[in-house]
Amino acid sequence: MLRISQLKLPVTHTEEDLKKKIVHTLMCRTEAVQSYEIIKQSLDARKKPELFYVYTVDVKADNEKQLLKMLTRKKRAGNVQLHEAMPYVFPAGGNEKLKSRPVVVGCGPAGLFCAYFLAEYGYQPVLLEQGAPVEERQKDVEEFWKTGVLKPDSNVQFGEGGAGTFSDGKLNTLVKDKFGRNRFVLETFVEHGAPEEILYENKPHIGTDLLRNVVAGIREEIRSLGGDVRFEAKVTDFVIQDGKLTGLIINDKEEIKTEAAILAPGHSARDTFKVLSDRDLEMNPKAFAIGLRVEHPREMIDHSQYGKGADQYDLPAASYKLTYHANNGRSVYSFCMCPGGFVVNASSEPERLTVNGMSNHDRAAKNSNSAIIASVTPEDFDGNDALAGVRFQQKWEEKAFSEGKGRIPVQTLKDFREGKITESFGDITPNTKGLTSFGNLRNCLPESVSEAISEGMQYFDTKIKGFNREDTILCGIEARTSSPLRIERDQGFESNIKGIYPCGEGAGFAGGITSAAMDGIKVAQALVTV
């Protein structure tokens, strides 16, 4: 087939316009184009208010090699090349068979895709999740947002689908994978109910409202393939003999015998991290970031990114990506931007509070929000043991809980800079899932982080007009940007304890839904190809 890149069309174009553009680019007859598939679609707003969609398409056409030769001869082949589709192919299984069923710990994207892969190979994995199935989890989360009553094992962090289930559902990743695992993950989501456009959008997202059903669909397929999915099954200890795993203790009473446990606990599995540390699993603290959620009117962000005339077009809610290097040396950047979304109480422990961002598929809420965070390193932590970063998170989450009296503490940017508690909002009001209370967010962050964020907000106004406006809403704190530690593994994905395979974001090897799912596949592949 032929791959054409950099096909630019006005945002108002029709499907017929795209077909005509393909024919024109190839300099061929209309009937010579047999079919085409959109591989990538991105929005170009560099010349706003003129807006364009830019496409990469794969085209099946008559006499493709002759077409390319003709285009080359006429010096028109710059954006056209022969392309062979390379779908992800399940590798051949190895010769060594596992003596027992593999156990996958954690039902986030890493664990879910690891179990799915193992089930496809006939290994009948056991998938353990300490929280509830997504249907029950949704009810628990909504009750928490309404009343503040937290269920420690069924919340925004824990339960089927992992932390990403109650998020924007972003699927973009910076991970390069020549084997096609990225595409395979997206195709699997589509097969289980995700919208087809995630296969080609430059910044694909599912949205929390759709993602829940997708997750449930993958779970049922694992079961149909012979896998066992168990909920409210918390791994409370690991049975280790002579440096090898022999079993897992569930809920302090049941033992499951296994020689292979894939650890995909998510970045908030602090109890599990403590148990593993006590069992001398090799792990080390790592850098992450901490900060606040900022809220602006969605319309303001849209106008800034698209131009004020963009209202007349049917465009997705606008996103942004911002970075700044503060005078005190901290890197400040936007993270997990949620166009037309909500700030959510994402707490998972009593008397500790953290927030996250969440969007439905339509991204139609009144505000757009993003985490504005600053980097922290092990040098900022109290101690240098593996759990030092965990204690750092807990310290500031406790301060946030106290500052908001159990609710999300909120503050205007003006008052944040002045270090005083807000008494009333300006034109912007919070759009949250979870109760809020006025508080001084400077009490909830290291002073150097607060200063870096304050500096960064001022700089970001040069990129997005109004970003630094005084009535900008700040919600705090965002403390779970990534895992505060890394569980070490070798080239075979195995830890220093034989039979334990660290995996996904919680183990420190991924960042986001898609990269975690891809890591789950890689670990599963390592097991079945031995």
- The strand pair at 408-412 and 436-438 is best described as parallel
Pick 90 or 393 by higher pLDDT: 393
pLDDT over 90, % of the chain? 91
Spans of all domains in the chain: 2-82, 103-284+484-528, 288-478
Helix axes 181-191, 513-528, angle to 10 degrees: 110
pLDDT of residue 239: 97
411-448 tens-digit pLDDT:
999 999 999 999 999 999 999 999 999 999 999 999 99
Q: Which two tokens stand for residue 404?
A: 């908001």
Beta strands in 144-271, from DSSP E residues, in sequence order: 228-231, 235-241, 244-250, 254-257, 261-263
For 110, residues 6+ apart whose C-beta sits below 8 A from its C-beta are: 162, 264, 503, 504, 505, 506, 510, 516, 517, 519, 520, 523
Whole-model pTM: value is 0.94
What would the mean pLDDT of 218-247 be, rounded to a whole number?
97
First-to-last alpha carbon distance for the chain, in angstroms, is 35
DSSP 335-382: EEEETT-EEEE---STT---EEEE--TT--SSEEEEEEEEEE-GGGSS
Instruction: Give pLDDT tens digits for 49-61.
Output: 899 999 999 999 9
Tell how far CA 321 is from the center of its chain: 15
What pLDDT sits at residue 530?
A: 66
Contacts 24+ apart (CB under 8 A), 461-466: 463/320, 463/322, 464/301, 464/304, 464/305, 464/320, 464/322, 465/304, 466/296, 466/300, 466/304
- 2-82: which CATH number, 3.30.70.2700, 2.60.40.10, 3.20.20.240, 3.40.50.720? 3.30.70.2700
Neighbours of 117 (CB within 10 A): 26
Task: Report the candidate in 348, 352, 320, 347 with the shortest Cα–Cα distance to residue 336.
Answer: 320
Alpha carbon distance 274, 363 (integer Å): 38
pLDDT band with cut points at 50, 70 and 90 for residue 87: confident
The alpha-helical segments, DSSP class H, found in 250-340 are 270-278, 298-306
pLDDT band at 91 (very low <50, low <70, confident <90, very high): confident
With residue 45 as reference, give the H or E element that holds it. strand 33-47
- 3 state SS of 73: helix
Structurally, at CATH architecture level, domain 103-284+484-528 sits in 3-Layer(bba) Sandwich (3.50)
Distance CA 322, CA 368 (A): 14
What is the identity of the amino acid at 185?
V
Tell me how far apart the alpha carbons of residues 287 and 296 are, in angstroms, rounded to a whole number.
Answer: 28
Decide if pLDDT at 286 tops 70.
yes
Q: In which residue are the tokens 């496809």 written?
A: 120
Q: Is residue 179 very low, low, confident or very high in pLDDT (cuts 50, 70, 90)?
A: confident
**Closest-CA residue to 131 (of 166, 102, 101):** 166
